[in-house]
Amino acid sequence: MSDGWSELPEPGRLRGRRQPVGGDLLAGRYRLAHLLGHGGAGQVWRADDLELGRPVAVKLLRQSGTTGDAPPDAIRAEARKAARLVHPNVVAVYDVVAGDDSPAFLVMELVDGPNLAEVLRTTANGQAASAQVAEIAVQIARALDAAHAAGVVHCDIKPGNLLLAPDGTVKVTDFGIAAISVGIPASTGSGQDRELLGTAPYVSPEQVRGQPATPASDWYALGCVLYELLAGRPPFVADTLEEVLGQHIHTAPVPIQTIRPDVNGDLAAVVMALLAKDPARRPASVQAVSAGVSGSRALDPSGQTQVLPVLDSVAPTAAAHGDQSTHRPDASTTWRRHRLLPIAAIATAALIVAAAVAVWRDSTTSTDAGQPQPGLTTKATAAPRPSSPRPSSPPATRSTPTSAGSTTPTAARLNTGATLTSLAQLLREQSRGREGKVGRAAARDIDQVIAYLAAGETDKAAEKYRDTGKRLAEAQRDGRWTPTPQITALLGQLDRTLVQGN
């Protein structure tokens, strides 16, 4: 199969190369529960840590069984670099298992919330208010500062790799995953032999030219993400991959305030500076980003970088240790490896990228009804042109607190929207029999609640949510519907924040 696994319908100890299923036991410790999503790097499963008795997220790295796969030592080395990074805005990597008789996998911190790609899809016009984007910018900048201080370059910053925790904290995931998923370091070779990692709408000009990825490349990608949050689309969209990559090198992005006149001028200036073609001209620290954001809060000293010591005496382990990580991975971003053509040929020949290229709107896809869908290899495609201009009016549903210990009004709205999005998804997953009908109907009602919040109509949102809750309670009393523990928890949270708060 294209994903490197063969079919085996029954759960058991996952060995060899076959399709994982719920119930599989990894390393004698991690029991796979259900598939959360899939992408170019592999599959992400919710699992149970049988030793510690807690849920975890397991990322099974996609390998084809060819010479292009990363060797176990390289996988462990990249995972260890990521695991040394401890920061509130970074999804923690706790352990790695890589051997010859089973798929390599990582165990990471569980984040019970959507990624920004999913939030974009549920927000009116895909646009956010200036204050909300400013808060998100500072949090991601903190994560990048921490990673770069630890000597780690992400190489694939994009909405699908930015997770929203229930408390409103933004967390960056998949540090080092882009490299180990295709069996090469973040940048190798020289000139036309160099491989390029990233996602086309967010890759830096210097990477397109075949130069190594550096911290400045991550800051450029952050600029692309912030631009998309404000404009509803990435800075460069075109009909072909070659056009998108060429625009990163040669084309100046349309000024944010041309698309969104309401965007704060200081924030617009920071975003445009991050998109500078010259890496040396980009802001390159959280201080630089925060200083340029009007009204941004003072930095939280609790978010200091921690680089853990390397223990040379510890040999690679056969079993992983883990906490939890529920990220909704970028499911249509499978990158294919090819050589880059010489830069002189960019204007006249196709420029091929080595890694997963995603259509920007589909940068993250969760699985339908929790059914495993093996990692799909997609041909490199460019970000499509939007079918119609984006309105300039921003929604009022997305924000992020600047520290994990505080929740601002905008952060509360963003957190509520994320909780509603998670609830709607869980309701849709109840797809069998009468319960499926009740769940799907309730999910449509929750979609309407999200729309009301996006329009700033909080009273209507609360009323619609109350009506939905009553119908679910009636269905439960009548035996037509049974909530899962996760649904019960989300309903309780929304009762406190959405109903009691109005």
Q: Residue 95 and residue 86: Cα distance in Å, rounded?
A: 13
Nearest to 107 by CA among 326, 322, 309, 265: 322
Q: Residue 277 and residue 217: Cα distance in Å, rounded?
A: 10
Q: Residue 116 and residue 421: Cα distance in Å, rounded?
A: 11
Instruction: Indicate the helix (H) or strand (E) that contains 36.
Output: strand 30-39
Three-state SS sequence of 38-99: EECCEEEEEEEECCCCEEEEEEEECCCCCCCCCCHHHHHHHHHHHHCEECCCECCEEEEECC
Q: Residue 153 and residue 216: Cα distance in Å, rounded?
A: 9
Tokens of 18: 């076959």
Q: Residue 235 and residue 247: Cα distance in Å, rounded?
A: 9
Choosing from 3, 49, 156, 218, the catalytic residue is: 156
Tokens of 30: 């991690």
Cβ 439 vs Cβ 369: under 8 Å: no
One-letter amino acid at 261 equals: P
Q: Residue 283 and residue 212: Cα distance in Å, rounded?
A: 19
Q: Residue 369 and residue 354: Cα distance in Å, rounded?
A: 31
Nearest to 203 by CA among 137, 247, 238: 247
Q: Residue 397 and residue 79: Cα distance in Å, rounded?
A: 35
Whether 49 is a known active-site residue: answer no
In the numeric block, the tokens 């919330």 are attached to 113
Q: Residue 309 and residue 287: Cα distance in Å, rounded?
A: 26
Tokens of 380: 């490199």
What are the C-alpha distances in Å from 422 to residues 120, 242, 413?
Answer: 14, 36, 14
Measured on CA atoms in the order 212, 216, 219, 225, is the torsion positive or negative? negative
SS3 421: helix
SS3 190: coil
Annotated active-site positions, please? 156
